Every structure is written in structure tokens, then in C-alpha cells.
A and B are shown apart, each in its own frame.
Chain A
Amino acid sequence: MAIRSVASRRTLTGLKETSSRLLRFRGIQTFTLPDLPYDYSALEPAISGEIMQIHHQKHHQAYVTNYNNALEQLDQAVNKGDASAVVKLQSAIKFNGGGHVNHSIFWKNLAPVKEGGGEPPKGSLGGAIDTHFGSLEGLVKKMSAEGAAVQGSGWVWLGLDKELKKLVVDTTANQDPLVTKGGSLVPLVGIDVWEHAYYLQYKNVRPDYLKNVWKVINWKYASEVYEKECK
């Protein structure tokens, strides 16, 4: 059987604020895979430990590795003044840098039930959701529908439009970060709808994944971001 067994293990303690480290290589800042603040199996049964381990250790790690490679190549191209090479690298930077940005947010968007995963947002974000979407159920229904409708790979987002001061639901293709849909958009909650995010558990039934993922959405984190951006 091709499926690997999952070793659920405690990741390093503490939630790192940033995953970047300064390496003395040509002066550019490269990135490392952020640790998850919970065990791989801690989001079960909503998301299986097997998926979490592969998603984090293989997919996100690959984005980090490839992003660092693209940044090194970019640095060289910039230093040489090679404009064509710089432009040619943009898609690798967007794919892999976007993948790193999006997944770093995603791990914080999730929490085990015993640490508040699934608990509805209180405070100002809860109020804003009711104002813009009628209710949390209304928001969930809208995001789930839009997430299910993404063709191919992508993400569905709850974002804050800082300029217009309102909440928005939007989708992005592939690993495009939310900011590619609008410079004033701040991501609050992103849900990965690439097949790798759910296939081993939910197979082709993306709507079932979208129904269940809400049970482990970390509204506390989303509220923190919202309150910070609203100041």
C-alpha cells in the first residue's frame, strides 16, 4: 500500500512569530519551514494526521526550498543586471513564495478543538461578520460554496479590505496570495482547496472537506489579525 503511516509527534514548542532566518549567503534573507503549534493528529477527525504530515513536511517544505532557490537565482540575476532572467523568475517566485506565505497563514488558521478550534469568533470580528454576512452560518455557507467552485487548485479567503473597511470573501488560483486580488486586502482566514489538502481523506468530495474544516478553524487568530488591522 502506497500510503505512509503517520507518526504523530510533538513539534517544537512555541509559535514562532516569523519563519525567516538571516543566512549569510549573499546577504539575502531566506526562509525555513515554520513549525506547527500542534501535533499532526490534533485536528482529527476534521483533517487526518496523515494529510497534515504530508501537507506540512512535503508540500510546504517544497515551497520553502524552491522559494529559497528562486530567491538566490533572483539575487544573482539582479546583481548581474540580467533583466530577462529577473522577469523569467517571477512565476517561480509567485508560485513558491505564495505557497510559503499561504501555508504559513493556514497553519495558524487551524487549531485543535481543545485549543479553541471551531469556536465562533467573539468581539469585533464576530460583529463584523454578522454585519457583512448576516451571520457566521451565512459566511460559512458562502465560503464553502466559493471554495467548492474553485476550478483546479486554489484558496478561498475571508479578508479585510483595509481601505474600504469591510470584510470580503474571495478566491485565488494556485498559490496566489490574497493580496494579488487587491493591494488593501488582508487575509484573515484562508482555506486550502488544492486536492492535496483533502484528497487522502475526502477523495473527490471537496464539499465534505469544506463542511468539516470549520470545526477546526481558529477564529481567535483571525480576530487578533482583524483587531490589529482595525486600529
Chain B
Amino acid sequence: MAASAAVTANYVLKPPPYPLDALEPHMSKQTLEFHWGKHHRAYVDNLKKQVLGSELEGKALEHIIQNTYNNGDLLPPFNNAAQAWNHEFFWESMKPGGGGKPSGELLALLERDFTSYEKFYDEFNAAAATQFGAGWAWLAYADNKLKVVKTPNAVNPLVLGSFPLLTIDVWEHAYYLDFQNRRPDYIKTFMNNLVSWEAVSSRLEAAKAASA
């Protein structure tokens, strides 16, 4: 599934590009039912209510995110807008039968910017494991370089000036039903079994085109 970085202004709760049980046993159907069906849905619904009648109504989601980030002094709609974006991006970062090592140009770039895939793997794992409290870990692209970034709560690389390529949600609700406190096990499972390198590659192409 080609993952476009732009989400439309309709603030739609888009379903993941696979059935809710398709990521089992690595991510349970129950988790998807709550995480997508309740958490993500609430961000979308609450965003709609929040921007109704305001100057942000009808604006593209990315516009709302940048505007309400307000250089870190977050305005009220930021949380819902960014989380709506982040979660759609997250579902599209995974696929059934995913994970493992990428190949081709993506692998070459990871080896160029991290020395080896293993070094990237370790750095991404560490970022995800050490983001304290709620947040996300990302592979991002900026200035023709790949880097690992971790962000708190709803913050994402868009507001930090880089192109997101891959993300893992490390809010506790993302893993608690399946892994309880064992976040490192969740991260490893994500990397080994869920990452959609196809999505990452197509986002990288889009990022390079946008930077050209």
C-alpha cells in the first residue's frame, strides 16, 4: 500500500490496510480493536469537534499540526490532530508478514547512515525503549540523511522539520494488552515481524522528491 504522507482534510478514521486480526500473533486483534477502534477513533472524532467553527476547520491535517504545534507551545487541537496523523502513519508502517531486514536502496542508505542494519536496529530499539512516558520513535529523513528520532506524546518529525519514514507507537496502550510492561519485547516483535519496508521505501521516495 503506497503510504502518502498527506492526510486529507476530511479527518477520516481510515482502517488499517489489513484486517484487524492480520498482525497476530505479534499484535493481537484485541489490541487493534481498542487501539484503532477506540483510541484512534477518539482522536479523529475529537479533532472534528474541536475545529468545528474555527479557522482551522476544513484545513489539511498537516496544516493544523504545524499551526497548533506553535513552536512547542502547543495549542489545544495539536494533540488530536497529531495523534490522528500519527496513528494512520503507524498502521501503514506495519504489514502482515513484515519485519526483518530491508533490501536494495533502503538497506544501502541504512548502512550508509548507521554503519550497518544492526546498528540502526539497536539505535531504533534504544530510542523506542528510552522515550519516557508516552511517545513515538521514528526513522526520519532530513538533509539527505536518515536518522532515528524519539518524540514525546503527540509530537512527530513533521514539526521538527524532517520527513517521517517509519514509526512505532510507545504509548502504553499500544502494547499493554499484549506485552504489559515489557516494552522491549514489543519493540523487538515490531522490528522482527511487523515493519513494512515497502511503506518506508515509498515514503523515502516521496521525501526525496519533495526535497529536490
Contacts and interface: CB of A to CB of B under 8 A. Distances in A.
Interface of A: 2-4, 54, 58-59, 62, 91, 95, 151-154, 173-175, 194-196, 199-200, 203-204
A196 B133 contact: no
B180 interface: yes
B39 A204 contact: yes
Contact of A200 (B42, B134, B180): B180
Given A151-B154, A195-B171, A204-B38, A173 B133 contact: yes
B interface, size bucket: 20 to 34
Interface-centre pick from B28, B134, B154 (highest chain A CB count, 10 A): B134
A60 to B, nearest CB: 10
B66 interface: no
Contacts of B28: 2
Contacts of B177: 2-3, 199-200
A2 B178 contact: yes
A5 to B, nearest CB: 12
A219 to B, nearest CB: 28
B133 A153 contact: yes
B161 interface: no
B179 A2 contact: yes
B172 interface: yes
Given A62-B181, A204-B34, A204-B38, A199 B133 contact: no
Nearest to A176: B133
Contacts of B38: 203-204
Contact of A59 (B79, B153, B181): B181
